[in-house]
Structures are given as C-alpha cells and as structure tokens.
A and B are shown apart, each in its own frame.
Chain A
Amino acid sequence: MGRLHSPRTRKRADTGAAHGNHGNDAGPGTGRGNAVEPQGPWRRGFPTGKKWSVMPMGTEARRPKYVVINADEMEPGTFKDRFLLENNPHLTLEGALLAAYALEADVVFFFVRHEYPAASALLTKSIAEARDRGYAGTNILGSGWSVECHVHESAGRYMCGEETALLNALEGRRATPATNLLSSDRGPLWKTHGRQ
C-alpha cells in the first residue's frame, strides 16, 4: 500500500501503531483501541480519537455506517491534498480503510473537488487495484469485514469543504452548512425518516 514515511513514522510503524492511532486506551465499544491525538506533521487541532468517539459502535449501531474523506481542498495557497492524492493515492486510501476498520464502517466516500479530476481518476484506479488485491471490497483478506469505497466528484464551490455542507452536497442537496457542531452526530446519510 502507500508509502510516504518520515523517520518518525517508520518508528511508529515498527511499534505497530498505524497513522493517527497512538493510543492503547479502549474507545467506547471498539475493543481495538481509541485513536488519540496524532503526533508530528499530521497533527490537527481536534484529536482524532475524540472526533471518532461520537460514532455509534457495536451491533446496536444503525447501518450502513459511512466514513467520508474530505478532499474538497480550496484554501488559498494550499495544495497538500492535491500533492498527496496525485502522488500517493494509495496512502490516502490506506488511511481511509484504517479509519473505516476502526469505526466499523461499511462505506467510504472520497469527496473530491471538481477541479481535481486527476486526483479523482487516480483514487478510482487505486480503489480498483486495492479491490483486486483483496484490500477493499468484500471479506477483506478473509477477515469477514467488508467495505465499499467510492469516489464522489463534487459539483464545485468552496462551501463544500465545510463538513456539514459537504454531507448535504453528497446527498444531492444544496451545499449549505448545518448548525450541528459535530457532524458525526448529525444522524445518518440519506436518512429516510426525516432530516435532523
């Protein structure tokens, strides 16, 4: 799969910790460890483990469960996502699959901005390659876990980078942001019994 390692990442890989997963304290119902605040160049202001902890887990959780990757990069002067997606799409795919596995998700969506057609094409190809090798799709590596990965090309506009507006756009709605502070808690995509 993807390789883009610094010496710090290599050390973490040797100790068995995946990207963004440095904790060994169990999250709610996960039984496989809760991701705590990531270190190094991938650090963001909001700890990954806390963000993921709002996801309902276990057999009682409503299905299907989704992981959505926000590739709607448009901040002026920023092209880190383009660089990553066009030069090492498998690394992004690997991270998404790890997240999906940790969150017991069923579907991964890559929401890619309209102006990144090369990234969309490369991600699509990477997903197909991963599926051919048994890293994505049905019964991954004989684990019993299945996840489908899809690339969604945005219709455009900056607002889609805001996560609740992104989810609205993914559902085919107008890309307006919601008032919920935690989008993971907004309820399911394509909710059939009314919107939150």
Chain B
Amino acid sequence: MILLCDSVSCWILDQERIRDHLLLSLGLRGLCETSADGMFTVLPAACLGACDRAPVMMVDDKLYCNLTCEKIDEILGTFRKP
C-alpha cells in the first residue's frame, strides 16, 4: 500500500511530478488504482506530517522522504527484487 502525501507542503515541493512518475512507473492511470501485478496500490493521503522532508510517501508502514524520481525508482526496485 502506497500512501502518497497529497497536500500543500508536498505540492509546493514538486509532488505532482513525483506523482506522475510514480504512476507511470507502476502503469497506473491515476491514484486509487492497483498495479497489474497486484503489488502496489497508490492512494492519496491527507498530510503525512513530514513537511520538513517533503515530498513524502509511505509504503506500508515505512515513510520515505525527500522524494525524487530517482528515489522512486530505487524504492520500487527494492520491493521488486526476487
């Protein structure tokens, strides 16, 4: 379960580009969808309360901060490792 912070501090810090990259990487048309392999569901979240490290997302119980497109690739890669 991916909770993508969808609130003001993250918006200011380029969240839309991160969001688009995340959705593209997972083959999703938009938020609130599940990837074809069933591994990831991406939901928007009210402020995750890590505005000092925005943009942020949670994957299950783990918080990932200061996101960039490269970090998104890295994070998703760790979950896809055999």
Q: Contact residues of A with B, CB < 8 Å?
A: 73-79, 81-82, 113, 115-118, 158
The answer, yes or no, to whether B61 is at the interface (CB within 8 Å) is yes
Please give, as numbers and ranges, the residues of chain A lying within 8 Å of B50 by CB-CB distance.
Answer: 79, 82
Report yes or no: B61 in contact with A77, Cβ–Cβ below 8 A: no
A75 to B50, CA, bound (A): 11
Q: Does B39 sit within 8 A of A, measured CB to CB?
A: no
Specify which chain A residues have a CB less than 8 angstroms from the CB of B9 in the assembled complex. 76-77
Determine if A74 and B47 form an interchain contact, defined as CB atoms under 8 angstroms apart.
yes
B61 touches A76 (CB 8 A): no
Residue B24 at the chain A interface, CB threshold 8 Å: no
Beta-carbon contacts of B42-71 to A below 8 Å, as 1s and 0s?
Answer: 000111111110000010010100000000
Do A158 and B46 have beta carbons less than 8 Å apart?
yes
Identify 26 residue pairs between A and B in the complex whose beta-carbon atoms are under 8 Å apart, listed by A's number. A73-B49, A74-B46, A74-B49, A75-B47, A76-B7, A76-B9, A76-B47, A77-B8, A77-B47, A77-B51, A78-B49, A79-B47, A79-B49, A79-B50, A79-B51, A79-B52, A81-B49, A82-B49, A82-B50, A113-B49, A115-B45, A115-B48, A115-B49, A115-B63, A117-B61, A118-B63
